[in-house]
Amino acid sequence: MSVLTDEIHVFAVTYKVPAPVAMMLPGVFSRGAKDLGMPVRRLVGLATYINEDLGNYLVGAAEEFAASDMGKECWANFKENEHG
């Protein structure tokens, strides 16, 4: 795993994010960092260790994506490929 992947994993564990939602976190962090004009790694650190409201907001965004038709399809494809 990359350092960034490890950091997003720590975020997911800290906020008790279920796997289908955690799958959306890289995209949420990437988009959020782009919108804020900061590195993704900095946003992950802020959300994980400094700003709980920000962390909860990002989890909410990931939950919305996971609940969408596309999110459900991504999760189903992942599970299908996982079991091969």
pLDDT tens digits for the chain (84 residues)?
588 999 999 999 999 999 999 999 999 999 999 999 999 999 999 999 999 999 999 999 999 999 999 999 999 999 999 876
Residue 41's contacts (CB-CB under 8 Å, 6 or more residues apart) are 3, 4, 7
Residue 83 is predicted with a pLDDT of 72
d(CA 4, CA 70): 24
Per-residue pLDDT tens digits for 50-67: 999 999 999 999 999 999
What is the pTM for the complete model shown? 0.92
